[in-house]
Amino acid sequence: MLSPSKSARLWSTKEMSEIGHKYKFEGLVSLEGDGSDGDADTPASGVNSDQDEVEPELDWTLPVPEVLCQSKALSWVKTVLICTRGRELPGNFNPLLIVELFWEQSENWQELAEDHLQDVSKLCSNFVIDLLRDICPADVPPPRVQASVVEESLKSRMEAGEAELKKLLQDRKRWYQLLIWRIEIEPG
């Protein structure tokens, strides 16, 4: 049977933030105020080093985030600030700035979620195949049971997962449109 440490890659928060963002910032002070940039090479607590091995079937093909130093990061924010100007009173905070920065940083999330859905589907299928090999009587081949009973269930679960992801992505778009609408209508 598949062991969790060998069948799936458990991603730490640091790794997810790195592959899920467009930019990686270096040289910025962390929120804790300890002067570090949060990029220490120490492993996350509770993460086993055996989990660093990724099975070839689990494929993460997201682009590596572009590394920005503090001056380039501030330049990026300034550019977005200039592009979102005009909806606030002088001297007031512009909420569109945060929205635009978030949207640009999270542009990989759809691809990340789709890859995760595919990987979970593969892991579930492999788990069921291994389980059937262990519990089926010797005279009943596991592929026959899998094809007749389990395959349709796995397929419907995958379709349900894809439908849920589609709903989440639509909600994300609607949230953005609603926020823009509220900012335009409600005076700050």
The predicted structure's pLDDT at residue 51: 42
In a domain? residue 4: no
pLDDT at 161: 93
pLDDT score, position 5:
38
CB-based contacts of 136: which residues, under 8 Å, 6+ apart? Answer: 142, 145
| Residue 99 included in any domain | no
Q: Domain residues for 161?
A: 108-188
Q: Taking the chain (188 residues) in consecutive chunks of 10 residues, what is each chunk's mean pLDDT? A: 41 68 71 46 40 44 76 88 76 78 83 87 87 79 70 90 91 70 58
**Residue 51 covered by a domain:** no
The reported pLDDT for the residue numbered 172 is: 75
pTM of the model: 0.59
**Inside any domain, residue 46:** no
| Helix (H/G/I), strand (E/B), else coil: 66 | strand
In a domain? residue 74: no
Stretch (H or E) spanning 158: helix 151-185
**Domain count for the chain:** 1
Q: What is the DSSP letter of 23?
A: E
| pLDDT for residue 36 | 45
Domain assignment of residue 86, yes or no:
no
H helices of 62-150, in order, are 70-83, 95-105, 109-135, 142-145
**Residue 49 resides in a domain:** no
The angle that helices 109-135 and 151-185 make with each other, rounded to 10 degrees, is: 160
pLDDT of amino acid 42: 40
